[in-house]
Chains A and B, each alone.
Chain A
């Protein structure tokens, strides 16, 4: 077993992997950019190394710097987390050449699945059902027109080299095809440095259901159940759950066996996820494979009772899977919300800044994987994911009620977060009825206002008035931190200028 692992990541996932290392008696090495010096993952690690300027390309994506820290720290293995270098075949190869174990699949498996077109070709050879379309990049507008006519509109143009909605265009008719193709190509070039675009039939209001797979290096591959990830905004997942409300045991077995064949076709080892699109008739089609541990892995951990990061480390250390498919069972229901530093009143614009107050929920059935703490300044240089809040229960209803309760307890002061969005989602009748599809969130967001707080009643207003007076009455310290330098002050503040100047000065230093 490894004695020391370097975590090539930051934020909540770095903390999560460090915790797994500590549970297994393994020393954890953290890396941090200048702006992450005070981050939680640095404090929780056993060793920490600075890796330079905030920009990801200078730090967390900088392969030579990461390899240098691996060498200096003597780490025997590296866990890449998700994002950053987790699906970078060049990095996986470099680790292998340096004699360091990359905790994840081989570079060859990443290459096989990393290009969407190559993955589709492999699926075709393996007889896996996938969304009708092309398996190779489009060579011309004429070819695009022919394929579109054959499979029928509406079609989806997609970038072969990446996801996240970039290089994607929905085309409803032949008239829109030319400009959509040009737009998709140039966006793909800008986002991934590769303008290759392919075509898929557009499935209307599909469900996005993905299957967790796990393979050791001795030829054993299992599936660990599915996750429903249909709640997305701009192709980014926002709420995920396990199991999927529409997947019964028979469908789980069929999808699981297909997912295992996909993993085997790619020569896959370690943890990965096979994504499917499911239409209204419950037909499922291979979409793509993610060759890494995913953000939403906790929901699978809760319903299977397995620790995926422990298993990743053990597989990388050469151990056989300690169980077989027959031992895997799904119990209970888990729902995850991704808490982002975003302003819900301003189109979810990122909202960096200092967290002045953090009241975090806990209690029965609540898991919180967080990278934030009170007093931390959220940097603006990275994806603003702060924490994941997961509710677990014996069934979906209990998971929803626990998660709702926890969201009501959750308070983050000083910055804006998307917590209010989850309250809206969880009380929505379609969510409760599990009527989910990838268009759900856009429809909910179009409905104006927050039904929960739209008109505060008279009693709540009275409470607020009395509370305002109480905060003022109970002392100058009662008004709380966070005054900006030089802003106008109300008359109550004029009694205590020195305290505000003091906190304003310390704010200005940040």
Chain B
């Protein structure tokens, strides 16, 4: 299997195959000795050579968050073959929806549709449990849509804005 892995914004090409009990792995063309056992669906025991690692994964929306020890990474794994000739799907994969983490009220909208935005930049401010929470953009891109106004009440999971 070949994968296009995007880790914290950088692209890597990963080729993985298994013959009997042995894995072969090429990372950006370079041979890497690996061995893996899933302890549970979200916990992986990975050996690179004889170095052992415990990797945890969490699904956060459409992203995969990986933890290697206490280092955290955001990852996306794509099968490059399924993207061939489907450029619209490729664009759609890049679109991110910002959702409300809990019920609250929109106290401030910080950007306008069409604005360019950096990863980690604030998009809106939600107030809940007497504290204000700034909702940040997960990626660098453009504000496609703002779906709420200042003063609106929102529920957990409501889509607040779309970044492309």
Contacts and interface: CB of A to CB of B under 8 A. Distances in A.
Contacts of B5: 465, 468-469
Interface stretch (A21-29, A283-291, A470-478): A470-478
A216 B152 CA distance: 56
A466 B70 contact: no
A489 B62 contact: yes
Contacts of B64: 468, 471, 479
Contacts of A347: 131
B119 to A, nearest CB: 13
B79 A491 contact: yes
B58 interface: yes
B55 A464 contact: yes
B138 to A, nearest CB: 11
Contacts of B121: none
Contacts, number: 174
A7 B121 CA distance: 46
Interface string A475-505: 0011111111111111111100000000000
Contacts of B92: 488
Which residue, A356, A470, A485, has most C-beta atoms of chain B within 10 A? A470
Contacts of A486: 97, 159
A471 B70 CA distance: 18
A349 B127 CA distance: 11
B36 to A, nearest CB: 5
Contacts of A408: 69-70
B14 interface: yes
B57 A466 contact: no
B69 A460 contact: yes
A462 interface: yes
Interface residues of B, number: 61
A480 B58 contact: yes
Contact of B133 (A346, A474, A494): A346
A481 B5 CA distance: 20
A472 B133 contact: no
Contacts of A420: 70
B57 A471 contact: yes
A357 interface: yes
B123 to A, nearest CB: 14
B22 to A, nearest CB: 14
Nearest to B65: A413
B70 A484 contact: no
Contact of B16 (A356, A413, A473): A473
A414 interface: yes
Contacts of B58: 356-357, 413-414, 480, 482
Interface in B20-68: 25, 27, 32, 34, 36, 38, 40-44, 46, 48, 51, 53, 55-62, 64, 66-68
A393 B126 CA distance: 44
Given A465-B12, A467-B46, A483-B61, 19 more contacts: A350-B129, A357-B43, A357-B56, A359-B43, A380-B102, A414-B58, A420-B70, A459-B48, A462-B27, A464-B7, A464-B55, A465-B75, A466-B34, A472-B3, A480-B59, A482-B58, A489-B62, A490-B62, A492-B78
23 contacts: A349-B133, A357-B56, A413-B58, A460-B68, A462-B32, A464-B75, A469-B16, A469-B77, A471-B44, A471-B55, A471-B57, A471-B77, A477-B41, A478-B42, A479-B59, A479-B64, A480-B41, A481-B59, A488-B93, A490-B78, A490-B93, A491-B79, A508-B157
